[in-house]
Structure 1
Amino acid sequence: MSGNEKIGFIGVGFMGHGMAKNIVEKGYALTVLGHRNRGPVDDLVGRGAQEAKSPAELAKQCDIIFLCVTGSPQIEALVNGPDGIKQGAHSGLIIVDCSTADPVSTLKLAADLEPLGVHFADAPLGGTPAQAEAGQLSTMIGASADVFTRIKPVCAAWAAKIEHIGQVGDGHKMKLLNNFLSLGYAAIYAEALTLARKTGISVETFDRVLRGSRMDCGFYQTFMAYALGHDPAPHKFTLANAAKDLRYLAALANASDVANPVGSAVKNSFAASVAAGHGGDFVPTLTDFVAAANGVKVRPD
């Protein structure tokens, strides 16, 4: 059962709905921010959550607020906007950013909020929407020891693996490294499948060789669900979000004076697909874009 913390949640989309559902079902008092997409909000209210009309109203009612939105511009707007969290903030409030964000922005927000007695933590996610619904996500948390102690029980409502990475900003740094690896694999898979098709190797043959080998992994399996059966549902993460994360990685590398030519190549692969109008499509569809650029289809009609 839960403690006495009152929890707020903003961003009940693909990942956030499952997280919020697990929070309220584990007995926490939950308030969610209303949204024009009424389905997830109405579902959570039906499970016992309350609804707030603005971030400021939500902040007044809560002790810990989880944010699960696209990235740093959206987080900054939610905190600093005219009816934002800061307008309803109170000493002791904790804001937990579960998005994949720019660590520079994260550190600035934390510094700006500190004089108000408001604590900021970053807790980006690992996993899929299905794992969010099941309460089986992973999270990598950047927070002070005291803040981590307070938020860990609530995170345990939706995460099976919780890693305290270090101080504020460190969670987002680790998440960018994680996404560099996963999205790098996606770019390699898309190119390898295109080359396979171009040279007469079918996607089924490709998969028979790799599945169960040392090159197999959970990311490979959700990615290949689309290549094999045109099912994007297991991997609900858009090309636009992927490109955004890779831009954040590039900025981190630049700020750290690190040459990252592989990261640049991966970023350009995703950026090209977004520029061609595919930003709303899910990551495994990168295969279609790369194949079409080379005059083939991975799965012929």
Structure 2
Amino acid sequence: MPTIGFAGLGLMGAGIARNLLKGGYPLVGLAHRNRAPLEALIADGAREAANAAALGAECDIVFLCVTGAPQVEALIEGDTGIRAGARGAGKRDLVIVDCSTSEPTVTRRLADSLAADGIILIDAPLGGTPTQAEAGELQAIVGSDDATLARLRPVLETWAAKILHVGPVGAGHTMKLLNNFLAMGYGAIFAEALTIGAKAGITPQTFDSVIRGSRMDSGFYRTFFQYVLERDRDAHRFTLANAHKDTRYLADLAEALNVEAGVAKAVRDLYAGAESQGDGDRFVPELSDIVAARHQLSLV
């Protein structure tokens, strides 16, 4: 079985890596600031890589599940990057699977550059939650050629309940940004609607009594309001910093495509404002409290 490398053992990555290990694949992990997920995987049979170059040298497939484009580039390039390790080992059949939510333009540029070294880069950003990552029930939104996807499908199936092939390399990241634009857009709308309602005497409970079960109900709505109504911070563990990053990438993509995206820019700016005031580590549903507080309101 191919040896799998993994960089980015965060909320999503740790669950994916564990399912790869359960699937019987030899796993080599790269440590970051929090060593606990890697130590848990080592206890179950994984090995630790000294650096990203070791992943390139020792592995047949390397998964990246990091914050965004700068982190992806840092792992791939440089003297101790994945490319250097693969070159040093004389490998020309390595596949890098980028599960991060990254910039499509960067993804395509890296893929073209890596191809000169015989390295294939595909994008497979994620749909789902950390709980679904643990359960092996994520969506993989894949940008790849047909042959590479066929090669990787058994590996992806260890952690993805649904594999969605949306086009060539870069298409996965494009679709993921569109998906997150919808989600973060809903989050922005919910936050402002709750504040407008509170100003007019409509409580969150009254708001929910009308929306829940209606055509405007959704899985995102349910987790957002699990926080609003029950104060459950773990209901939707996606940070405002990540929301800002993803909406910024989407707005930048629209600009590169000469699309006038006023809504995308407005959504981006709301999350940018939350991060700039020091709330980047809070989760998306908490945007409702942040917007309310700006108007001297409480939703509790």
TM-score range, shorter chain: over 0.9
1:57 aligns with 2:58: no
Give 2:112's aligned residue: 111
Figure out how many residues of one structure are paired with residues of the other and give that number: 296
Give 2:27's aligned residue: 30
Task: Return the TM-score normalized by structure 1.
Answer: 0.96
Deviations 1:264-289 (A, max 9, x none): 11111101111111011111111111
The correspondence of residues 176-191 of structure 1 with structure 2, limited to 5 A, is: 176-191=177-192
Amino acid at match of 1:163: L
The correspondence of residues 18-167 of structure 1 with structure 2, limited to 5 A, is: 18-89=15-86, 90-167=91-168
Question: How big is the shift at 1:178?
Answer: 0.5
Paired residues of 1:25 and 1:47 also in contact (CA < 8 A) = no
Question: How big is the shift at 1:295?
Answer: 1.6
Amino acid at match of 1:47: D
4+ residue segments displaced more than 4 Å: none
Amino acid at match of 1:244: K
Give 1:269's aligned residue: 270
Structure 2 counterpart SS, 1:268: helix
Paired residues of 1:203 and 1:227 also in contact (CA < 8 A) = yes
Structure 2 counterpart SS, 1:141: strand
Paired residues of 1:239 and 1:282 also in contact (CA < 8 A) = yes
Deviations 1:186-227 (A, max 9, x none): 000101111121111111121122112111111111111111
Paired residues of 1:128 and 1:234 also in contact (CA < 8 A) = no
Structure-2 separation of matches of 1:252 and 1:63: 32
Deviations 1:87-119 (A, max 9, x none): 111211000100110111101110110011000
Structure-1 separation of matches of 2:299 and 2:248: 28
Question: How big is the shift at 1:234?
Answer: 2.1
Deviations 1:36-78 (A, max 9, x none): 3121011111121111110111221111111000000000000
Structure 1 counterpart SS, 2:148: helix
Paired residues of 1:98 and 1:122 also in contact (CA < 8 A) = yes
Bigger mean CA deviation after superposition, 118-127 or 188-197: 188-197
Structure-1 separation of matches of 2:140 and 2:33: 28
Unaligned runs of 5+ in 1: none
Structure 1 counterpart SS, 2:66: coil
Question: How big is the shift at 1:151?
Answer: 1.5
Structure 2 counterpart SS, 1:17: helix
Question: How big is the shift at 1:249?
Answer: 0.5
Structure-2 separation of matches of 1:150 and 1:47: 26
Paired residues of 1:56 and 1:88 also in contact (CA < 8 A) = yes
Task: Return the TM-score normalized by structure 2.
Answer: 0.97
Paired residues of 1:140 and 1:162 also in contact (CA < 8 A) = yes
Give 1:221's aligned residue: 222
Structure-1 separation of matches of 2:234 and 2:129: 10
Bigger mean CA deviation after superposition, 8-17 or 45-54: 45-54
Structure-2 separation of matches of 1:214 and 1:42: 45
The correspondence of residues 271-290 of structure 1 with structure 2, limited to 5 A, is: 271-290=272-291
Structure-1 separation of matches of 2:78 and 2:293: 42
Structure-2 separation of matches of 1:134 and 1:51: 23
Give 1:234's aligned residue: 235
Amino acid at match of 1:81: G
Structure 2 counterpart SS, 1:99: coil
Structure-2 separation of matches of 1:8 and 1:144: 21
Structure 2 counterpart SS, 1:81: coil
Structure-2 separation of matches of 1:36 and 1:273: 25
Amino acid at match of 2:24: G
Amino acid at match of 1:74: Q
Structure 1 counterpart SS, 2:282: coil
Give 1:209's aligned residue: 210
